[in-house]
Amino acid sequence: MEDSRLRLNQIVLWLTSPYSVANVQKFFGIRKLKPNEVEKDEDAKETTDDGQFNQSKGKDTTEDHPWRSRLKPAAESHQFHVDYAIDNWFWYALFKFGALLGDDVFYYTFIPFWFFNVNVIVIRKVALIWATVMYVGQTSKEILKWPRPQSPPVVPLEPRYFKEYGMPSTHAMVGVLIPFSILFLTMDKVEYSIPIGFLVAMAWTTLVCLSRLYKGMHYILDVVVGVVLTFALLGMVFPFLDKIDHYLMTDKQAPLLLASAITFLSLTYPSQRGWSSTREDTIVILSVTGSIYTSLWLNNYFQWFPDRYNDDLPSTITWPTLAQWGAMFCREFLGVAITLLVHCIIKPIMLEILSFVYSIEINSETKKYLSVEFPYKYVTYTVVVLVCMLVSPFVFSLVGL
């Protein structure tokens, strides 16, 4: 009994140790530089006042530099600068791609691509699961207040994430929910190799999870809890998913219910410090998912684009021809371009409206007020998604796509 308890303590210590994360980074080719190595290089480079590389000397000034970086202290997490070098470019590129699979850029390209080119019923259900899982993950961070790995010994490659807590890893949660949701939603309806589909989903999840350790953003336990929690949530959501989806697509009160639920969940978000970047991201995720269902509800009610937004799921997977690939990427390009254009237009309009309503100057600080942040994010992303979903198909028809 005593041996089992000791063994359990050792496992917990390993899962929560920053040295475990540092060892993963070392294994994949991130090398912390010794003081003498840094001093030798000081004469060969110039830095700006904030310690970043001087762009005029041909060096990158971004916070995630692929060769060497000097990081400033982060007050919330007690992080200090670590000089490092990348010894293996293959792992750097692979895990940078893996990290992108859980970032905003991925959401705003992957989801429209599925709507415009693949299948509506699958991706809208994935979006519903995405909102559910992310809300649980983001609120858990604020409740648990688990810090990011200590640096040193860890080399943090994405210091912008130190604005938020680390437990559980929401990147890991997204890395599970997207591939496995697609697998579970299609495996009994579309003819393809289930083992291959499972291996692809596993590879996707593994890549995203390892990228969070490689980037030094999470303890191993953060990632493990994120994976386990997501599978548990999938098990709880899937038995009710079809009924919820059907209700949101057909009931006359569904748009009002969605708006009310989003408002309630956003206003009661358990932010422990008055404001957090997780609250901002959560409002955006809820707004995007709600407006996806609202736009599809409108289309279903008025039958504007019955051929483009139908619920037919093909029984087999047909590989597109070269011409079809071209049309798919043209639809993606046009759809994303329309989305970005509307986003650029509606943002300043909303800020001006809020400034007029509250009689205050809208700046980086006042944007953090919940009374400003919620309507700003909710209205902006609702309009953006509605235009993307309802105007883009009309444009596609005009240009023959």
d(CA 209, CA 3): 31
343 catalytic per annotation: no
d(CA 343, CA 352): 14
Q: What is the DSSP letter of 192?
A: S
Which residue is associated with the tokens 């691509």?
113
Given 81, 218, 246, 343, which residue is catalytic?
A: 218
Q: Measure the CA angle with vertex 122, ends 129 and 307; round to 5°.
A: 140
Nearest to 367 by CA among 358, 359, 376: 376
* Cβ neighbours around 8 below 10 Å, total: 10
> What are the tokens at 366?
């006042």
d(CA 280, CA 277): 5
Beta bridge partners of 112: none
Given 81, 171, 246, 343, which residue is catalytic?
A: 171
78 catalytic per annotation: no
* Cβ neighbours around 401 below 10 Å, total: 16
Length of the chain: 401
d(CA 391, CA 61): 38
Q: How many helices (H) and strands (E) does the chain have?
A: 14, 2
d(CA 148, CA 222): 9
Q: What is the DSSP letter of 195?
A: H
d(CA 159, CA 50): 14
d(CA 360, CA 362): 6
Nearest to 74 by CA among 169, 149, 170, 2: 149
d(CA 256, CA 251): 10
The set of residues, in sequence order, having a beta carbon less than 8 Å from that of 349 and lying 6+ positions away, is: none
d(CA 191, CA 209): 29
- Residues annotated as catalytic (active site), given as ranges: 171, 218
